[in-house]
Structure 1
Amino acid sequence: MTQKPDHARQLRHAWMACGLLVVTYFVIPVEADPNTVRIGVRLGLTLAMVAAVAWLVTGQVRRQLAAGPEREARSLLHLAVALVAGLLAFALADFVVARAAPAQFVDLETRVDALYFALTTLTTVGYGDVHAQGQLARGLVIVQMVFSIGVIATGVSLVVKQLTGRQ
């Protein structure tokens, strides 16, 4: 009887966490800075954040594989939040690079553009309207692709396995 309200509470918490991540993405101050040392530090910190998210997602995948039926829903929600965090971390990295060196990306001018580009890259849709042009941007996109293949594909396949296994 307490299972359903607990699941609803966990779902609300996951939605709130995703909402806070999105709000944080849009309010983090990012200004154009000609100082290459600061650009490097920001990019390094952003990539460290992406690595941390990848580590968290991988941990969630391992926990999901070991979880019993009572922990499945909670693990899936944590995995979903971690995947959203990864997407937003890449979008922020793209935006930082685009602001610091506008020639690195074609048509990436706003945070919405960066989120759109990160999502089309991570989902392998790639419309081509926004794309990496410079070497730094292409290197960042390579990391996004590896993340997409390794972490997102693993997470999604795990979610599908769990959902189809319930029926």
Structure 2
Amino acid sequence: MNGAAWFRVSASVVLLVALYYIVPVEAGDSGWRLVVRSLAALVFVAGAIALVVWQIRRRLRSDQLPLEGLAVALVAGAIAFALADYVVAISLPTQFQGLSTRTDGLYFALSTLFTVGFGDIHASGQGARILVIFQMVFNIVVLATGASLLINQATARVRASRKQK
């Protein structure tokens, strides 16, 4: 990626993280507000999953597409699960232990993505465990595939540009 592409990816990641922190989610909602908030979080996660899968499928059809869309989609997938984890934690406080802030949610989502977690924040309720199982499968199947594809195509492009010189 050239300098402009790196800037677009970096700006997109900063924007996604900023949106994660400012999206209106409040503890203590119940009834219809809780249902609407939970459905909105599900739609956000489903949209992020669809975006990542779409970007991967595009890359599999053509290796000449810009890579920044896939990079941003991978970040969006991780942030979507951070938001879902946070929504569950504040809506149903017994579902997660140690997850009470948005930073906790982002930390948990990323530690689940890159490791199996550290144990300081963990799912304690059945609903949260189901969410985390889905999150781990998504991380392994979708995000790992996308990251591998991104790295392989970037490497191939670097090699091709070196051969042309």
Q: Which TM-score tier does this pair reach, normalised by the shorter chain?
A: 0.7 to 0.9
- Of residues 150, 153, 156, the one that matches 2:147 is 156
Compute the TM-score of the two structures, normalised by the length of structure 1.
Answer: 0.85
SS at 2:117 equivalent: coil
How far apart are 1:34 and its partner, in Å? Answer: 4.4
**8 Å contact kept, 2:55–2:70:** yes
Q: Give the gaps of 5 or more residues in structure 2.
A: 160-165
Q: Tell me if structure 1 keeps the 8 A contact 2:42–2:84.
A: yes
Structure 2 length as normaliser, TM-score? 0.86
Does 1:27 pair with 2:18? no
For residues 107 and 93 of structure 1, what CA distance do their matches in structure 2 show?
15
Structure 1 residues 68 and 122, CA gap change in structure 2 (3 angstroms): closer
Of 86, 97, 101, 1:106 maps to: 97
Match for residue 56 of structure 1? 51
How many correspondences in the alignment? 158
> Among the aligned pairs, what percent are the same residue?
51
Structure 1 position 85 matched with structure 2 position 76: yes
Runs ≥4 residues deviating over 3 A: none
1:38 Cα deviation after fit: 2.6
RMSD (Å) for aligned C-alpha atoms: 1.8
CA distance in 2, matches of 1:34, 1:28: 15
**Which residue among 3, 11, 16 is the counterpart of 1:8?**
3
Distance in 2, matches of 1:136 and 1:37, equals 19
Which of 47, 50, 62 is the equivalent residue of 2:42?
Answer: 47
Q: Structure 2: how far apart are the matches of 1:130 and 1:88?
A: 17
- Which deviates the most, 156-165 or 21-30? 156-165
Name the structure 1 match of 2:125. Answer: 134
**Which residue is 1:123 aligned to?**
114
Extract unaligned runs of 5+ from structure 1: none
